[in-house]
Amino acid sequence: MRILSTLFLMLSSFSAMAQTDFQGQVNHIFGAINGTYAKFLFWPIPVIQLPLILFIMVSGGIFFTFRYGFINITLFKHAIDVIRGKYDNPDDEGEISHFQALTSALSATVGLGNIGGVAIAIGVGGPGAIFWIWLVAFFGMCMKFSSCTFAQLYRIKDSRGEMLGGPMVYLSQGLAEKGFPKIGKFFGGYFALMTILASFGGGNLYQANQTYEIIKAQFPAANPWVVGVTLAFLAGVVLVGGIKRIADVTSKLVPAMCGFFVFTCLAIVISNISMVPEMFLSIFKEAYSPDAAFGGFLAVMIQGVRRASFSNEAGLGSAAIAHSAAKTDEPVREGVVAMIGPVIDTHIVCTMTALAILITGAHLDPSLAGKGVQITSKAFASLGSFMPYLLLIAVCIFAYSTVISWSYYGERAVEYLFGKKLGHNAIRIYRLVYVFVIILGPVLSLGHVIEFADLMLLSMAFPNILGMIYMSSKVKGHVVDYVKRYKSGNMPTYNK
């Protein structure tokens, strides 16, 4: 018995050493790649010092807002009516409703960035960072409108008869129509590859890893393998059903988890209602004349821009993949639905997080510097010692919904790359690998791999935004026609 015990300890020790060595090698390889690629992606533009990729995303948002005549304001009420089902025609081609498309896209964006990312932005950039988060999200609405309208205009049917759309499709076809088929094919393939890599890292490995870390913070005895296998099983049950199953799950999860989170933050705000005017004043004041402790005006602005871009993913084109499956014969209508995404995940959820943190002063605790979720957890604890446990549940659900939504994005990218002949088998392999990576997420500690995934995520914006700007005249024409018909009052409705 003693021999077996000794042998077990030796094997465990060897396994731990092998795992540590493997992680070290992988981190080293990806660290070298990141160091080179990040220099390009985050190259600080002279004078404004805004990283290149963030400049492109912000510029894209401003361009599309003016290009489409501030459609995020003029058709805002109409967007709410569409989401409510007023214009849902069950006979339209597609797989899911407008509401399900929105919740499917939101499930990939409403997550740890809204809970932990906002806390980090405030901790590093102060209250003023929230103003820039709002501003970027406002312009980001039209960027999402653009990409999701394009997705509907160019969607096709895949090898299984399901809708296939998104930047990989409309960049390829749209640029070919403009006389640049080779550039379109390259942009489409590049976007699809970045989507697959981002799905494994940011949409999968990071979510599983952080889920375990959050659970371990409350329950130190938690086993990483158990967490990984459980999350993989729950995700696998949904993944095999495709977008319809994902939409069914997210249409219930997203409203519930957003409602719980916002309600809790509101409880903190209402219990300290006298402090709210002061909080809003500090947000606006620090946006332009921030305290030197937060690095000055430029540092605060950059923090807000970065967190907003990560939060709502406007410009990345990922949401367009989900919205391309919506039932509609009006491309602009789905774009109008999509632009509500940044309002929910940034203007509402992020604002509630920010107010809860600022009111409780949780971000001022030096022991929590850089620990986003733990800062939010401390803010929640002001309502009672049990609240961090409820936040834990919410975070796990946020992470789970992100995992299942990003699996769909990755699948669509695989289908596009491998085509009708190989697409079906390629998707099966992708799903197996995706589930396996979920299991590894809590076990491994691959910092540079996750950084690499973030770079892939941001890289999706390059071909998407540049391509859409060049092709924007097509969407502009559809916008003019749609608005004219809508204002005439002759647009048919189905569910009043």
Which tens digits make up the pLDDT trace of 384-431?
Answer: 777 778 888 888 888 888 888 888 899 889 988 887 667 678 888 999
pLDDT score of 496: 52
15 pLDDT band, cuts 50/70/90, is: very low
495 pLDDT band, cuts 50/70/90, is: low
Mean pLDDT value of segment 90-114: 80
| Cβ neighbourhood burial of 457 (10 Å; 0-12, 13-18, 19+) | buried
Q: Answer whether residue 18 shows pLDDT above 50.
A: no
Q: Answer whether residue 450 shows pLDDT above 80.
A: no
Identity of the residue numbered 188: G
Alpha helices in 159-295 (DSSP H): 167-177, 181-200, 206-218, 224-239, 242-271, 276-288
Q: What is the mean pLDDT of the chain?
A: 81
d(CA 399, CA 208): 7
- Is domain 27-488 in CATH 1.10.1740, yes or no? no
Percent of the chain with pLDDT over 70: 85
Cα separation values, 161 from 157, 166, 171, Å:
5, 16, 21
Name the β-bridge partners of 457.
none
pLDDT greater at residue 33 or residue 334:
334
Q: Answer whether residue 46 shows pLDDT above 50.
A: yes
pLDDT greater at residue 131 or residue 27:
131
Return the top range by mean pLDDT from 186-200, 277-291, 311-325, 349-363: 186-200
Closest CA to 158 of 331, 426, 415: 415
Q: Answer whether residue 69 shows pLDDT above 60.
A: yes
Per-residue pLDDT tens over the stretch 251-268: 777 788 888 888 888 888
pLDDT greater at residue 370 or residue 431:
431
Cα separation values, 279 from 77, 182, 270, 271, Å:
29, 52, 13, 14
Name the β-bridge partners of 157.
163
Of the listed ranges 6-20, 55-69, 118-132, 334-348, the least confidently predicted one is 6-20
Phi, psi of 121 (to 5 degrees): -60, -45
The 10 Å Cβ neighbour count of residue 249 is 22
Mean pLDDT value of segment 81-92: 83
Mean pLDDT value of segment 237-257: 77
186 pLDDT band, cuts 50/70/90, is: very high
The 10 Å Cβ neighbour count of residue 471 is 22
pLDDT score of 13: 46
